[in-house]
């Protein structure tokens, strides 16, 4: 496996490669990342994993400085999952002039759900992913379904800016109790981690109600809230929106697929999760 730290070297490799699949990450790789890397490797061509903790997507009171980092561990994980290349640039390589004054703004899709409390987050995500697309030149890019809003934002950016990149959504990988794998799970104590499994159980309870015919948005959301709050977890939001554009949906759902998403804080960790209601959207 090749390790690249400079944009110039990555661009040189890009020119020499027929097809590239990119897995953008912020490192501290877990089982979810391993599935992304394996999915990319299965597409054929060169599998590139980027590892870069992007300062543009963190607000002033967020966890940029304490975000977990362990490059040596990540290299072992990436190699075992099937990566051919790890692109791990320094902040000074990606932003040589310091704070980037050029940012990508996508409007309302970034202002709902997580965007309400993290107003600069998705602008930072879109900006760094656009840079990675330009630098790496992938045919496909792989993102986890857990980060549903991120997937929607990247797809909107790809469409609006005419990137010739296929965005592949990979199913969420979960711990034994249903908790979605996340680098931020390391912030949880053992007790908090066990309690955090309630988030997915609450989502699947609503999923069962939907399968039984419940179409009232309020009833599905109340089912989630009841379970989450019974575990002494304070939700930041529980919402149902269109799965692709994150638009509001009616009080009574029709048969079109929708996203049931939540965010909650447990101890030091802010956790997100979601399920799709309606037609399964295989990628």
- What's the Cα-to-Cα distance from 149 to each of 153, 244, 282, rounded to whole Å? 6, 9, 17
Selection from 212, 205, 274 nearest residue 243 by Cα? 274
Buried b (16+ CB within 10 A) or exposed e, 200-210: bebbebbbebb
Mean pLDDT of the chain: 96
Neighbours of 149 (CB within 10 A): 24
Percent of the chain past pLDDT 90, that is, above it, reads: 94
The domain defined by 2-170 carries CATH number 3.10.420.10? no
Selection from 167, 163, 166 nearest residue 148 by Cα? 167
For residue 264, pLDDT beyond 90: yes
Q: What one-character DSSP code corresponds to residue 52?
A: -
Grouping H, G, I as helix, E, B as strand and the rest as coil, residue 95 is: coil
How far apart (Å, rounded) are the C-alpha atoms in residues 146 and 150?
9
Containing H/E element for 160? helix 148-160
In tens, the pLDDT along 157-196 reads: 999 999 999 999 999 999 999 999 999 999 999 999 999 9
In tens, the pLDDT along 106-121 reads: 999 999 999 999 999 9
Domain 2-170 matches domain 183-276 at the CATH topology level? no
Q: List phi, psi (to 5°) of 168.
A: -105, 125
Query: What is the reported pTM?
Result: 0.95
Neighbours of 193 (CB within 10 A): 18
Catalytic site residue from 30, 33, 121, 134: 33
Give the start-to-end residue ranges of the domains of the chain: 2-170, 183-276
Grouping H, G, I as helix, E, B as strand and the rest as coil, residue 31 is: helix
Q: What angle do CA 263, 150, 281 make, to 5 degrees?
A: 95
Neighbours of 244 (CB within 10 A): 17
Give the CA dihedral 265, 29, 280, 236, nearest 10 degrees.
10
Selection from 1, 41, 37, 3 nearest residue 19 by Cα? 41
Q: What is the CATH number of domain 183-276?
A: 3.30.1300.10
Establish whether 33 is a catalytic residue. yes
């Amino acid at each position: 496996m090749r390790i690249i730290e400079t944009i110039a070297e990555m661009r040189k490799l890009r020119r020499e490669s027929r097809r590239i699949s990119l897995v953008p990450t912020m490192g501290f790789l877990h089982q979810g990342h391993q599935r992304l890397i394996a999915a990319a490797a299965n597409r054929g061509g060169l599998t590139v994993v980027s590892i870069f903790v992007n300062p543009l997507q963190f607000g002033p009171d967020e966890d940029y400085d304490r975000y977990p980092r362990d490059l040596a561990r990540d290299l072992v994980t990436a190699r075992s999952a099937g990566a051919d290349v790890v692109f791990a640039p320094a902040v000074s390589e990606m932003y040589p002039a310091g704070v980037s004054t050029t940012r990508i703004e996508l409007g309302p899709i970034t202002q709902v759900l997580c965007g309400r409390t993290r107003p600069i987050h998705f602008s930072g995500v879109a900006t760094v992913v656009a840079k990675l697309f330009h630098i790496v030149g992938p045919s496909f890019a792989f993102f986890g379904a857990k980060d549903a809003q991120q997937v929607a934002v990247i797809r909107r950016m790809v469409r609006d800016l005419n990137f010739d990149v296929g965005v592949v959504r990979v199913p969420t990988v979960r711990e034994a109790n249903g908790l979605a794998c996340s680098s931020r799970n390391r912030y949880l104590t053992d007790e908090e981690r066990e309690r955090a499994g309630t988030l997915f159980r609450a989502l699947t309870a609503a999923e069962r109600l939907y399968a039984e015919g419940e179409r009232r948005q309020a009833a599905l959301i109340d089912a989630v809230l009841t379970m989450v709050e019974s575990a002494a977890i304070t939700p930041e939001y529980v919402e149902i929106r269109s799965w692709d554009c994150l638009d509001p949906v009616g009080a009574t759902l029709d048969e079109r697929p929708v996203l049931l998403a939540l965010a909650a804080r447990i101890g030091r960790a802010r956790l997100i999760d979601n399920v799709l209601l309606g037609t399964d959207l295989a990628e």
